[in-house]
Amino acid sequence: MSENLPKNDDQWRRKLSPEEYRICREKGTERPFTGEYLDSKAAGTYCCKCCGAALFSSETKYDSGSGWPSFFRPIADNAVRETLDNSHGMVRMEVTCPKCDSHLGHVFTDGPRPTGLRYCVNSASLSLSLKAGGE
């Protein structure tokens, strides 16, 4: 983790809202169809709410109908970390930020071309950096 990032739970709680903390640090999930970025069409880069690392481009965002912002690929090959998640009686691939280990969501193999992947991400784990002129 970076030198300037919080190093313990108390510091993360001061940096994040209670909902952001629950999702990012405790691997929670926001209710479907409620996230800030679900219907966003703004051009820009979706970054990690916790550390600001670039994660996804708006150019790869699409409406999956799942209730969460969905992307068909990360902004770079090493932009996210994928780890097997056996929680809640399911077998899934968890997606986290490789810089600060923030929980982002999960990746599924039912996405569109060209990748066939659906990165299903919680809005609360993201911040959007708008491109110039993007609204």
What does the pLDDT look like over 99-110, one tens digit per residue? 999 999 999 999
> What's the pTM value of the predicted model, to 2 decimals?
0.91
Catalytic site positions:
120
Distances (CA, A) of 47 to 50, 69, 79, 97: 9, 13, 10, 9
Tens digits of residue pLDDT in 73-101: 999 999 999 998 888 787 889 999 999 99
Give CA–CA dist 71/73, Å, rounded. Answer: 6
Tokens (6 digits) for 108? 């599924």
pLDDT tops 90 at residue 40: yes
Confidence category of residue 6, pLDDT binned at 50, 70, 90:
confident
| Superfamily in which the 9-130 domain is placed by CATH | Peptide methionine sulfoxide reductase. (2.170.150.20)
